[in-house]
Structure 1
Amino acid sequence: MEGEEEDKNLVYFDPPLWRQRRSFVNEVLRESKVTSVVDFGCGEGSLLSFLIQPFEESPITRLAGVDINREIAEQAVENCRPWDHDVEFLRLTPLTVDIYQGSIDIADKRFLGFDALVCMEVVEHVDPPVLDKFFDIVLGTYKPKIVIVTTPNVEFNVYFPQLKYGTPEATLRIEDHRFEWTRKEFQEWGNSGAKKYNYSVEYTGVGKLKYGDPAVGNVTQIAIFRDLNPSSKPLLSSFDTYEHIEKIDFPYYNEPDKSYEEILETIHYYLQFLCNRIIDTTNIKNDQQHEPNRIKIEEIWDIHRIRQLCKTKDKLRDVLRSSSDFTLLNDEEIIVHREYHLDSYDHQEEDYDDYDDDYEYHGGDEILSSPNYNNDDQNWVTTTTNTAITTNGWPDYIGDYDSGWGDEGK
């Protein structure tokens, strides 16, 4: 039957490829403690909007994206604008997002000084004369500390029967692709740039099949370049300019520092709920006793208002140590010596819930509490017909599946 034949051309990935790629990039940037990132070939802003989520440590404060297509770059502007939520629950640090229209084969002086540059699912769309200048621009001139490049692994196309990989009739995953590299070809390209500009390079990938052949590799291959000589001068001394489309400034918490006494007052307000919550004791072992006044510091830190006031978890611990109402058992737990009565505060409990739930939505790329995310979807698939549009990191699906072999959604 026609439907059964169509199903043979579908390859499932869980999590979907767009999430695997963005989460991988996000984690590498987090571990590298970067504060500024360029998205080279930003498209509709899918990665940029994903990176808008605040990091707890060394947060990103500057993002920039450039794309050759002005209309698509303008869409990136819309996808990266603050939501009402960003005004209600202010970020802990400033953030600016600049969107440009331009080609990746020219250098713009405004892109000097960024910590990281990401080029995700872009190089395979670029004509050879433009691609030939990639390393001169990126590694030789912009010289970020870290560069991440992702591109399809053509060897994985063996799992897409309609592409007829390995035959004279073989086609590429996307009509707009100029090429798709084997892992050997990708590594030869990457090694040549790393050697020329004194970068190290390592290779990895995302997207595997549960019962796939390990020898085929991942559906997406990834190169991570790291600058071995940050003090060297840029290659180019003359620059062209991209067209600056718009600068987006995110609102952020910028009130004067509060005294320890003021912070403690806020902590006590929230502890009245934490210490009086109803606990499901069915999972507590018989030899364990529930202690309502034994609180994990992480539970206090998870409250957005507390993060605004303390800025760091170390300061929160210092504030707690300053009060005789608390005993720190270790760096992770406290005993609260005050008793709280909720009778006169019932009407305020909703405020606590709002702070807790809404901050959870903002903090971290794996939490799926956005109203734009349908968590009923269990099976993820790549096809050539569906698209996923993202705004501030969260998908709003047209259709049920990841788009275009996992390529178009980036």
Structure 2
Amino acid sequence: MKSFFEPPLWFERRTLILKILNKHKDFKKVIDYGCNVGNLLEVLKNNSDYEEIIAVDNDENVLKEAYEKSKVTKYFMVYLKTKPLNIKLLKGNIKYADVRLLNSDALICSEVIEHLDNETLEIFPKIVFNIYKPKVVIITTPNCEFNYYFKELNYGTPQQKFRHEEHLFEWTRKEFNLWVKNIAEKYNYKFEITGIGSAPKEIVDGDRGYCTQIAIFERIEQCENNSIKNDINTEKLTEIFDCLYNIDYPYFDNSNVSVDEILKELVCFSKNYIDRIKLISSETNDQSYNENQESSDKIISNYTNISENTNENNSKKKYLNEENSINKDESNNKISTKYQYAINLEDIWQDYYINRLCGNKEKLKKVLKSDEVNSIFFFNNDENQSTDNENNNTEKVYIRNIDDLYDCFDKYYNKEDYESEYLSYSTDDDYNNKTDKYNEYSDTDKDSFWDHYSDSYHDNYSDAEHNF
């Protein structure tokens, strides 16, 4: 027996949805439309940019499960968010409109439309695209042509079945494409159709497409086509859905944070950064160490790619920094030769504590240019680096004098307090044996992305094992 999809289809689907959403750093309000047991919601809550997440379903039992995955855990009591986050779980039928779903940035409708009857399916586009009008809409649904590979479904015969008994239809690629195109043209959206889940090479038989087909709609802000008018007065909309759960996450109020507090964390972060690089450099002659470090870096890299924007990822970056993040005398330009060490601004920003204290990157940049901080660090994005979004990863913060940095660190931290709170990099054994505060909490409290499993019955033919 062999798994049909590798990685599992639920993982591919969720990863693609997150990838699409993460392109829009300014999104604040996200709707999980037909949330089921809250598997996607469990990941969305980790995004530090979101301020409001609304999950909707018509089944009270699945909403109870969704609540268990979205409630505040011990982890979020310790690693506070940097801004307020409210999560509402609403019970309601999606063929009706609720005022709380207006003005959203994104609406995700994953593996839902195939459960809708004709009446609801007909009114669905009007409610979503003409009343709610999210900036981005993501819709996923099965591609019935792919059912050819699931022999038990008898695709193409009078006895053919759907992937699940509750599916009322499953569209071909042509049918889905036509439905998507009509919606986009009618309601002033542009769209892209893609998919996830390819058949294993050894059984590919013709062009059957992807297992799951996905439409990505993006609202056109300025459009000449104004013929579509909303015949529902949104001002008269009410809160018709029942709010079963209303969750407010605790957050850190950084409105009164001083520059000195931020400088303290900058100094601590930078010292750890440099000490880590020195440790790596001192072991360059040990081949086995280098091989282990390379393997470790790959694991860390793979993990952080999936867990992007989570507090867990930010906290780990405080102690685990890759060698290539430090650029020591590697450039011939005037600034990099003047200062001994340079750290990527993005790496500093990803540190949980600095991120929490500053709240936004512009404040961090402002602090780096302040007189108090400028005595230790040099940062001038107007002169030495581009502020273009495509080049943000190249912005550097330079350490003026390493001795001054260490003196400043000694001023802020006494040895006993520091060693009790942070990792020590004095020896390889220390690095391997000590753990940070994060590891005191259970896997349940960490809300690890890897703890999520398949999306209930939606993936009966996604994660199942099949004979080839």
TM-score past 0.5 threshold: yes
Q: Per-residue deviation at 1:346?
A: 5.5
Distance 1:298 1:346 in 2: 30
Equivalent residue in structure 2 for 1:236, among 200, 220, 232: 232
Whether 2:37 is the aligned partner of 1:37: answer no
Segments of 5+ residues of structure 1 without an aligned counterpart are 1-6, 362-368, 374-389
Equivalent residue in structure 2 for 1:145, among 135, 150, 174: 135
Question: What are the within-5 Å matches in structure 2 for residues 2-41 of structure 1?
Answer: 7=1, 10-14=3-7, 16-32=8-24, 33-41=26-34
1:300 is matched with 348
Deviation string 1:42-64 (CA, Å, 9 cap, x unpaired) is 11111122111224xxx211111
Distance 1:314 1:179 in 2: 49
Question: What are the within-5 Å matches in structure 2 for residues 242-257 of structure 1?
Answer: 242-257=241-256
Q: What residue identity is the alignment partner of 1:65?
A: A
Q: What residue identity is the alignment partner of 1:295?
A: I
Q: What residue identity is the alignment partner of 1:224?
A: I
**Is the CA contact 1:79–1:392 (under 8 Å) kept in the aligned structure 2?**
no
1:221 is matched with 213
Question: What are the within-5 Å matches in structure 2 for residues 287-326 of structure 1?
Answer: 293-322=341-370, 323-326=374-377
**Is the CA contact 1:52–1:393 (under 8 Å) kept in the aligned structure 2?**
no
2:421 is matched with 351
1:327 is matched with 378
TM-score by length of 2: 0.69
Deviation string 1:279-327 (CA, Å, 9 cap, x unpaired) is 3233689xx8899854343443232111112223343344334322223
Indicate the SS of the match to 1:44.
Answer: coil
Q: Per-residue deviation at 1:275?
A: 2.7
Q: Per-residue deviation at 1:86?
A: 0.8
2:74 is matched with 84
Indicate the SS of the match to 2:195.
Answer: strand
CA RMSD of aligned residues (A): 3.5
**Is the CA contact 1:62–1:95 (under 8 Å) kept in the aligned structure 2?**
yes
Distance 2:237 2:194 in 1: 33
Going from structure 1 to structure 2, the CA distance change for 1:196 and 1:318 (only over 3 Å counts) comes to closer
Q: Per-residue deviation at 1:123?
A: 0.7
Whether 2:462 is the aligned partner of 1:406: answer yes
Going from structure 1 to structure 2, the CA distance change for 1:90 and 1:69 (only over 3 Å counts) comes to same
2:94 is matched with 104
1:371 is matched with 443
**Is the CA contact 1:67–1:102 (under 8 Å) kept in the aligned structure 2?**
yes
Question: What are the within-5 Å matches in structure 2 for residues 158-307 of structure 1?
Answer: 158-209=148-199, 211=201, 212=204, 215-228=207-220, 234-237=230-233, 239=237, 241-277=240-276, 279-281=279-281, 282=284, 293-307=341-355
**Is the CA contact 2:254–2:359 (under 8 Å) kept in the aligned structure 1?**
no
Indicate the SS of the match to 1:42.
Answer: coil
Distance 1:20 1:26 in 2: 10
Q: Per-residue deviation at 1:255?
A: 3.4
Going from structure 1 to structure 2, the CA distance change for 1:306 and 1:137 (only over 3 Å counts) comes to same
2:40 is matched with 47
Q: Per-residue deviation at 1:91?
A: 0.7
TM-score by length of 1: 0.78
Distance 1:352 1:233 in 2: 59
Distance 1:297 1:268 in 2: 14
User: Which structure shows the bigger proportion of residues in strand conformation?
Assistant: 1
Q: Per-residue deviation at 1:176?
A: 1.5
Q: What residue identity is the alignment partner of 1:104?
A: I
Q: What residue identity is the alignment partner of 1:48?
A: L
Deviation string 1:352-398 (CA, Å, 9 cap, x unpaired) is 359x9778x9xxxxxxx98259xxxxxxxxxxxxxxxx968552559
Q: Per-residue deviation at 1:172?
A: 1.5
Greater Cα offset, 194-203 or 328-337: 328-337
Indicate the SS of the match to 2:88.
Answer: strand
User: Which structure shows the bigger proportion of residues in helix conformation?
Assistant: 2
Going from structure 1 to structure 2, the CA distance change for 1:327 and 1:228 (only over 3 Å counts) comes to closer
Distance 1:40 1:163 in 2: 28
**Is the CA contact 1:152–1:180 (under 8 Å) kept in the aligned structure 2?**
yes
- The share of aligned pairs that are identical, in percent, is 35
Indicate the SS of the match to 2:140.
Answer: strand
Distance 2:421 2:206 in 1: 50
Going from structure 1 to structure 2, the CA distance change for 1:147 and 1:295 (only over 3 Å counts) comes to closer
**Is the CA contact 1:143–1:234 (under 8 Å) kept in the aligned structure 2?**
no
Greater Cα offset, 255-264 or 232-241: 232-241
Whether 2:120 is the aligned partner of 1:134: answer no
Distance 1:357 1:176 in 2: 47
Going from structure 1 to structure 2, the CA distance change for 1:397 and 1:24 (only over 3 Å counts) comes to closer
Going from structure 1 to structure 2, the CA distance change for 1:129 and 1:307 (only over 3 Å counts) comes to same
Distance 2:270 2:206 in 1: 51
1:387 is matched with none
Going from structure 1 to structure 2, the CA distance change for 1:260 and 1:213 (only over 3 Å counts) comes to farther
1:114 is matched with 104
Deviation string 1:181-232 (CA, Å, 9 cap, x unpaired) is 1111111122222233222222111222452468222111111122235797
Distance 2:229 2:28 in 1: 21
Going from structure 1 to structure 2, the CA distance change for 1:213 and 1:82 (only over 3 Å counts) comes to farther
Q: Per-residue deviation at 1:89?
A: 1.0
Q: What residue identity is the alignment partner of 1:173?
A: R
Segments of 5+ residues of structure 2 without an aligned counterpart are 285-289, 291-322, 331-338, 386-394, 425-434
Q: Per-residue deviation at 1:249?
A: 0.6
Whether 2:60 is the aligned partner of 1:70: answer yes
**Is the CA contact 2:35–2:57 (under 8 Å) kept in the aligned structure 1?**
yes
Indicate the SS of the match to 1:265.
Answer: helix
